Amino acid sequence: MSGASDKARFYMEKAAPHFRELEEKKIFTKDEISTMVKKKSTFEHKVLARGSSPIDFAKYAAWEINLEQLRQKRCKRLRIKGSSAAPGQARIFNIFERGTRKHPGDLALWMSYLEYARQAKATNKFKTIMTAAIRLQPTKPVLWLYAARYSLEVEADMAGARSYMMRGTRFCTRSKELWIEYAKMEMIYLAKIAMRRRILGLEVDKMVEAPESTEESAEDQGFSASADMIAIPDFKTHALQPSMVDAVEVDSDPQMDPMKTPALTGAIPLAIFDASRKQDFFCPAAAENFFDMFLQFGHMACSARILQHVLDSMIELYPADPATCNCYVRQPLAGSDPMSPSFPMALNTSLIRLKEALEGTKDKTELSKKSKAWIEPILALEGLDPGIRTVLEHTSRRLE
């Protein structure tokens, strides 16, 4: 313990000038500073002791962050000038640096470190941390996804985001979610190009919409923090949002005929899907997840081709699987709004396919469950046509 005590004393002596400055400028009272010194000493002894955990460093950094925020608020209220936030940031970065050096394999600590750098708008520091984290843990999908999100949200750099996703899929060959997110990012980008063409009057026959995710709330897309913990981003499936590419510059000629441009006909998402077929994670459920994601972009001109390609692959590999049958049943509904005049015709085709699929599937119970999963949300819509409601209710009862 003598070694830990000596190191703790060293770090406390380095912090002494900072506490003296706080007292001299009357930002904090003498009693408050005494309490802060004791608290900091406790944290130092805890993180330097043998057997310290990553959570100890996270709590220490969270305390320093709260202290720095309080200092800035008081400086503003007391109109104290000449008090920079740089020293405070440096201390917090130092705590994270020590923590990740001692626990290089703790992903949550790295994510907290990255999130603080992002919120502090320390761009160069963020990139340094991201490089170090990826170099140590290249098989962690959340790191590649977080890097891509940063490129899109902060830097509006589609090429950079695409580069992160491409490299990530090379390392994370077992991560279904990362591969689907990569394809989804490309679909969002295509949706933006299509929308741009529509605004310019070059494409008026097909309405293009970039759908909002139905799997995340506004809170899920952000970051939350408690008083004694660092915020850790919540990485769920389909974490990339259409709004992330709003500032991204479109590098394609808007006047080019999309039917003659492979990139605008979905070549990249299709290539990602085809590459995923060679990965260990690929199975009927994974293929169905790809289909579900592409189905969200049903209003796009290229979606029919993409959905047909995915369905053909599923029929080739898993012809009688409930996942394949479910995708076959729902394909006619792609891009069709339940409130639109075209929906009854599409629904009729789907119900005919459902009857056919129930006779050919190897698991009727599972297919019935999957069918009810897409029927029930439609029945929950207000203002649904009474005829459609009657047909779907009858179908749902038969599935039971």
Taking residues 184-207, what's their average pLDDT? 76
Euclidean distance between CA atoms 123 and 155, whole angstroms: 10
Indicate if the pLDDT at residue 196 is higher than 90: no
Between the alpha carbon of residue 284 and those of residues 316, 319, 381, the distances in Å are 11, 10, 30
24: Cβ contacts below 8 Å, ≥ 6 apart = none
pLDDT single digits (tens) 43-99: 999 999 988 999 999 999 999 999 999 998 988 888 887 667 788 899 999 999 999
Which ranges in the chain belong to alpha helices (H)?
2-24, 30-48, 54-78, 86-102, 107-119, 123-136, 141-153, 158-171, 176-199, 218-221, 267-276, 284-295, 303-317, 322-330, 343-360, 364-379, 386-399
Nearest to 195 by CA among 242, 157, 154: 242
pLDDT grade for 275, boundaries at 50, 70 and 90: very high
Euclidean distance between CA atoms 58 and 56, whole angstroms: 5
Residue extents of the structural domains in the chain = 1-128, 138-237+252-316, 319-400
Residue tagged 């979905």 (tokens): 266
Which segment of 256-270, 303-317, 362-376 scores lowest on mean pLDDT?
A: 256-270
Residue tagged 């995340």 (tokens): 216
User: What does the pLDDT read at residue 78?
Assistant: 84
Indicate if the pLDDT at residue 224 is higher than 60: no
Between the alpha carbon of residue 277 and those of residues 168, 237, 280, 332, the distances in Å are 16, 19, 8, 24
Residue tagged 């949002």 (tokens): 241
Neighbours of 25 (CB within 10 A): 15
Tokens standing for 167? 């490299």
- Quote the strand ranges of the chain, DSSP E: none
Give the global pTM: 0.79
Euclidean distance between CA atoms 40 and 68, whole angstroms: 13
- CA-CA-CA-CA torsion sign (5, 11, 59, 53): negative
Indicate if the pLDDT at residue 279 is higher than 70: yes
User: What does the pLDDT read at residue 249?
Assistant: 59
